[in-house]
Amino acid sequence: MTFSIVTLILFSLLGNTVLFLLILTKAPQNYFKGLFLAYILFAIFWILSNLWLLLSPNIFSLKLSYALAPVTSAFAILWALAFSSPLKPIPKLALWPLLLLSISFFLFCFHPTLILKNSAVFDVNNLAYGPLFDFYGIFLIGLLLSVIYCLGKNVFKLLGREKKQALYMLTGASIHILVIIIFSLVLPIFGNTHFAFLDSPSSFIFILLTAYAITKHNLMDISVILKKSASIVITGSIIVTTFILIYLGTQPIPILQLVATTLFVLAASFFAIPLQTKLITSAKKAFVKGYYESDKVLNHISSLFKAETDQRTMFLTLAYALDEAINFDKIHLVIGRRVEDEQLGHFELINYMSNSKTRELGPIKISDTALTLFGSYSDSVMYKELDADQQKEVAQWGADAKSIVLPLSSPEGLEGLIVLGERSNGKVYTEKDIKFFNSVIAVMSAFLYKLTPYEKLQTEFMRTKQQLIEQDKALARTEKIASLARVIQEYNHEIKTPLSILGLTVRRLKSGDDLEAFKADMNQLIARANDIVETTLRISKPREHRDVPVNLVEVLETALHQFPPDGVQLIKQFETVPNMMGDPDDLHILFTNLFKNAYEAMENGGTLTVHAFAETDNYATYARVDVSDTGTGIAPENIERIWDPFFSTHVTKGRGLGLSLAFRIAREHLGSIQIESALGQGSTFKVQLKAKSG
């Protein structure tokens, strides 16, 4: 039996030593690593003292074992406290009293009478306890139970990988500690020391589970690869060690020993191969920090959100899932918070830190421009893709030159943003990463969609339905204009030929006073006819459309410059207008016709208001220009007809082609024109033009 016990203790000693060296050489430098190394080092000394006691029983080796126990337990508490915050030092108010008490009991153990009394003849089964032994036992039990409490608290507090790490540590520590408390502290008080030898070998269980947490869950950021041969050795070691523990632990009761060992052999035959397979580590997963499989991560994210109904929790859960899969230097969350009527009240900024911990940075103000901009994005956007003003604003949310922003929206608008910092492995974001983030946005948007109340979904549906109806009307109007344009084009060619001949004939007439007046009138009429032809040709056969960057405010200023005040008060309200691509000449024609129409509607003077601003409609960003006049207005029965060619409400002015031309130009720029008018009060033309994407 002594040989078996020695073998188990040597196993434990070897396991602790290997773990100590692994953490010393592989783990990054931080506070948690230092405390864990101190714990293992004292645990090694404690196991050596027990081995010494077993091989050469004497009072000093026993006192040394008793003395090392509280110090080892103190460091166990400290690393358990530091588990959830590995970079944050333990408060001195908790650190120093714990160490001072542990060192005090360490010294008391060597006193001749305080903990264990010296005797002439040493008998491990007949020990004489001193007056402080009960206090020592209570203190040590308190320390050991505190370790379980701290680790258990971490299990409930942490998420994901950190939670699994804490669970394995808790399981191993609990088994080891309970063995120590029962067999080395409680039973010896009642004179039973037969099982005291199990305290050292039980640490091997803790070592195995810690090693598993390192291998499969990168405990302390240690990456270890296990091949098939290594996994077979580890599996065999676990089975042999557990079998010996069960065999020795049940030896006093032969029937129990037979049943327990038989059941264990059966269990081992079923679980040995699955355990060995599970221990094998993927080389890429182990050695390539930040490696992830996008499909698996997306499936994992979807599974996390299935039953979730809280928006804030969804953002935090997404941050955890992304950080667990890829690892970022920093993550900031900008989350929209809604008030009682479910309207967006404000945004709050949260710093998501490692180990699923967060730090509230308080409410923030987001500019209307940023709300419009990010509300229009359906994909992720790199910091470097933003302009200077936008970069300045997102920098206040924790972004820097290497950041990427994930805007998340619902049918109600922008719900928030996730600002991801640089990857922990230092690699720049690749096309694969961008596609993955875009897929994450799509998945998240779908789950945010389900949070929208039914009434709002119904309202959104009706609004979209009305938009489709208006688009159908616009399409029908466009087709009508196109059809009419083809007819006009044919007539234009027929008209232009005789006009040219007539003009040539008139110019050849001989001079005379009456004849000169006749020629002047004829040339004026011919010029007017040609102007009609050129204008109708412009609408029926447009020149080639070109897309270039357009400063819409400059286009508006240039078009307005053509119209003198002439009794009309001009009010310009130019806000920040998004960048757009378009044909500046066509846009100039569009707004010139609208301004001309407004001036003609105000024969006796009035006010022309031009308001330019940015607008978000159905998740897209538009440049919006409202042209309002205080003129005669348009009768309700004529509202739908004003876009038709040759229709005009001004009897003596124009040919009714200007608004048709403006309508077509707006459609070519993926926009629209809407009108609101009241007879005798004036009209407002609302022009909506698609902004530049990205």
Question: What CATH number did the domain enclosing 608 receive?
Answer: 3.30.565.10
Of 569 and 484, the structure prediction assigns the larger pLDDT to: 569
Dist. CA 355–CA 421, nearest whole Å: 16
Q: How confident is the model at residue 371 (pLDDT cuts 50, 70, 90)?
A: confident
Clarify whether residues 163 and 195 are in a common domain. yes
Does 672 lie in the same domain as 657?
yes
Please indicate, yes or no, whether residues 518 and 604 belong to a single structural domain of this protein. Answer: no
Whether pLDDT at 665 is above 60: yes
Is 22 part of any domain?
no
The answer to whether the predicted template modeling score (pTM) of the entire model surpasses 0.85 is: no
Evaluate whether residue 262 is within a structural domain.
Answer: no
Q: Examine residue 280 and state whether it is found in any structural domain, yes or no.
A: no
pLDDT at 183 over 60: yes
What would the two tokens of residue 115 be? 């903990």
Number of domains in the chain: 4
Phi, psi angles (nearest 5°) of residue 368: -60, -35
Residues 384 and 314 in one domain: yes
d(CA 421, CA 352): 11
Contacts of 455 (CB under 8 A, 6+ apart): none
| Of the residues 449, 476, 500, the one at which a domain ends | 449
Within-domain flag for 336: yes
Q: Give the confidence band of 627 by pLDDT, cuts at 50, 70, 90.
A: very high
Give me the sign of the Cα torsion angle 410, 414, 416, 421. Answer: positive
Q: Above 60 in pLDDT, residue 287?
A: no
CB neighbour burial string for 233-248, b if at least 16 within 10 angstroms, e if fewer: ebbeebbebbebbbeb
* Domain shared by 348 and 372, yes or no: yes
CB atoms within 10 A of CB 365: 9
Cα separations (Å) of 426 from 327, 329, 454?
Answer: 10, 9, 45
Q: Give domain status of residue 21, yes or no.
A: no
- pLDDT at residue 684, as a whole number: 94
- pLDDT over 90, % of the chain: 6
Last residue of a domain, one of 176, 200, 224: 200
Cα–Cα distance between 147 and 77 in angstroms, integer? 5
Say whether both 537 and 553 belong to one domain: no
Among residues 263, 244, 235, 156, the alpha carbon closest in space to that of 201 is found at 244
State the helix-helix crossing angle for 228-249 and 254-279, rounded to 10 degrees.
Answer: 170
Indicate the average pLDDT of the chain.
76
Asked if the model's pLDDT at residue 178 lies above 50, the reply is yes
Dist. CA 22–CA 648, nearest whole Å: 88
Mean pLDDT over residues 395-413, rounded? 84
Residue 276 included in any domain: no
CA distance 204 to 43: 11
Q: How confident is the model at residue 508, as a pLDDT?
A: 64
Following CA atoms 335, 340, 346, 347 in sequence, which dihedral angle do they give, to the nearest 10 degrees?
A: -10
Whether 81 and 90 have beta carbons less than 8 Å apart is answered as yes
The Cα 308–Cα 310 span in angstroms is 6
Tokens 């699994």 belong to 164
Last residue within a domain, chosen from 485, 515, 541: 541
**According to the per-residue pLDDT averaged within each range, which of 188-197, 218-227, 288-297, 581-590 is highest?**
581-590
pLDDT value for 625: 94
Q: 3-class SS at 498?
A: helix
Give every CB contact of residue 664 below 8 A, 6+ residues apart in sequence.
478, 481, 539, 542
- Distance, CA of 413 to CA of 232 (rounded, Å): 55
CATH number at residue 349: 3.30.450.40
In 250-378, which ranges are continuous DSSP H helix? 254-279, 283-287, 294-305, 311-326, 368-376
Residues 441 and 462 in one domain: no
Residues 6+ apart with CB under 8 A from 564: none
Q: Go through 310-320 and write b for each residue having 16 or more CB atoms within 10 A of its CB, e for each that does not.
A: ebeebbbbbbb
Q: Which is more confidently placed, 691 or 216?
A: 691
Q: In terms of domains, do 425 and 499 share one?
A: no
- Please give the Cα distance from 212 to 15 (Å, whole number): 12
Q: 73 and 191 in one domain?
A: yes
487 and 395 inside one domain: no
Q: Is residue 269 part of a domain?
A: no
For residues 512 and 551, state if they share a domain. Answer: no
274 within some domain: no
Does residue 637 contact residue 606 with C-beta atoms inside 8 Å? Answer: no
Is the domain of 467 the same as that of 439? no
Please give the residue range of the domain that contains residue 560.
545-690
